[in-house]
Chains A and B, each alone.
Chain A
Amino acid sequence: MMTCEEVRLSLGAHVLGALEPDEAVLVEAHLAECEACAAEFDELAGVSDLLARVGRVSEHDVAQVASPPAAVLERLLSARAARRRRSRALLSLAASVVLLAGGGAVWAVMGSQTSTQTASSDAPAVLSAPSSAEAYAHNRAQDAESEAATAPRDAENAQKAFTEPPGAGSGGPPETAEKSARGPQTAAATPAPLQERAADAAGVPGELVRSGRSGDVRVTVRASPTPRGADIAVSLAGVAAGERGRLIVVGADGKSETAGSWVVKNADKGVYQGATSITPESITRFEIHGADGLLVSVPR
């Protein structure tokens, strides 16, 4: 006759079918008569069932889980550090721009290129994507500048909206769901001629995203509210490299501001950052001007 203690210690092996047949018979006989041990067996059987349900986990798998590559952590931390250094540099740059502009619209031109390859980036290491890193650092600089703990606007958002085709969002379903749940879609206004919705226009509340096209020129403008007015990101395609471009923002009261200018680096796609004192809700029109005048007008 086995004691309860002996049976208990054998129960793990019994649940997993590892006992020799003669011992298994003895354990079964005990379980038939001892409720406490039978209850213990049921609990362990639940664990065994779960293991069976999830399928085979190899020693290799367990080893990977136990020690993920430390290099990844180092790279993550240095990516963060690099961003911080960069944002400090941009902060001082932004300060000097303010001085030059005499307190007018702050205009940090970020002539970063965003090639279409970035969208389906072969090497997703973020640091290797200059447009992403720069735009992100820029936003961070502005965050720090305004000390506003606003919703995170980052390069990824900008990049998604500007460079990725519909349905190719690498952020995946959760992000999409999250975005559409964020509130009123600012881009849901009545479409005007030449106006199209951005590929991923559902944005944070208060953000205004509009796209327009005229001939070969395609533009998407995203205005994000800030305490001073709006930060603006312009994604522009179809303007020849080397040409100077300019964004004019027109407000509800008829006031217009040059939100910034840039030199086109890449005719295929360029993302330019800027700011205006006009708030997103009072913007009525964006105008992109080239060397020879108006290229495209994007109504609200």
Chain B
Amino acid sequence: MRDSLEGAEPLRRELRREDVSPAGTADEQLIKALFDDHAGPLYGYVLRLTGDTGRAEDVVQETLLRAWRHPDALAGKPIRAWLFTVARNLVFDQHRARRSRPQETGDEALAVMPADDELERAVESWAVAEAIAALRPEHREVLMHVYYQGRSVRETSDALGIPPGTVKSRTYYALRALKLALEERGLAP
């Protein structure tokens, strides 16, 4: 699974505890880098799992904290898949605790966990959301109308109050920009 996810790996930062200066500034930068690089997709994913913003925030915080504390665990691995797995397990651990079951040995937990290819798909689909989020607002806007809402050029033109020619050109440039953004994230279309 990891090998196949290698391609979906977004920009990876070096995580090294040795870099930590006495003042802790490197620590702080590392945390910020982890947050900037991954918090968005991770939060989207976890929010989908929990349906609760407060819990999603807690899980994202804990997951990133673990990544920060485990630079070794992340070395040479697809960090996004690692983060998603840890977050998913935290969500299901909470779920088990919520039902106040005694500590379980995993069978039931495994049953409710998505298979690895589902995790792989989640990583990929949140990378796509991330790529879309990276588009310029006017490009993102027409793409959401034309692709995700299935509107025609004319309908989009009416909805947004812009000429049909502008809808067409923005759709074209949006797809070109998206292609680049996806390639940057290792998702070669």
Instruction: List residues of A whose CB falls within 8 A of some B CB.
Output: 8-13, 15-16, 18-20, 43-44, 46-51, 54-59, 61-69, 71-73, 75-77, 79-81, 84, 116-117, 119-126, 136, 149, 151-152, 154, 156, 164-175, 178
Contact = CB atoms under 8 A, between A and B. Distances in A.
Report, as a range, how many residues of chain B touch the other chain.
35 or more
Contact of B90 (A56, A57, A170): A170
A171 B66 contact: yes
Contacts of A171: 66, 86, 89
Contacts of B4: none
Nearest to B139: A12
B161 interface: no
Contacts of B43: 64-65, 68-69, 72
A225 B90 CA distance: 30
Contact of A68 (B18, B42, B70, B124): B42
- A-B pairs, top 4 by smallest CB distance, nearest first, are A167-B106, A12-B172, A12-B171, A46-B189
Contacts of B168: 9-10, 12-13, 19
Contact of A16 (B62, B86, B106, B147): B147
25 contacts: A13-B146, A13-B168, A13-B172, A20-B153, A44-B179, A50-B189, A56-B148, A63-B133, A64-B40, A65-B41, A65-B126, A68-B42, A72-B61, A79-B61, A80-B27, A121-B93, A124-B58, A156-B69, A164-B103, A167-B104, A168-B93, A168-B106, A168-B109, A171-B66, A174-B85
Contacts of B81: 174
Given A9-B169, A57-B129, A79 B179 contact: no
Nearest to B87: A172
Given A12-B174, A124-B90, A20 B152 contact: yes
Contacts of A166: 105-106
Interface of B: 2, 17-18, 24, 27-28, 31-32, 35, 39-44, 47-48, 53, 57-62, 64-66, 68-73, 77, 81-82, 85-86, 88-90, 93-94, 96-98, 103-107, 109, 121, 124-126, 128-130, 132-133, 140, 144, 146-148, 151-154, 156, 165, 167-169, 171-176, 178-179, 182, 187, 189
Contacts of A50: 128, 182, 187, 189
A152 B128 contact: no
Contacts of B61: 72, 75-76, 79, 124-126
A256 to B, nearest CB: 33
Contacts of A46: 179, 189
B53 A116 contact: no
Contacts of A152: 17, 69-72
A122 B105 contact: no
A124 B172 contact: no
A11 B172 CA distance: 6
Nearest to B172: A12
Nearest to A11: B172
Given A20-B152, A64-B47, A156-B66, A151 B175 contact: no
A166 B60 CA distance: 24
Residue of A9, A48, A165 with highest tally of chain B CB at under 10 A: A9
Nearest to B71: A152
A19 B153 contact: yes
Contacts of B182: 47, 50
Contacts of B146: 13, 16, 18
Contacts of B28: 77, 80
Which of A12, A72, A81 has most B Cβ within 10 Å? A12
Contacts of B59: 124
A71 B57 contact: yes
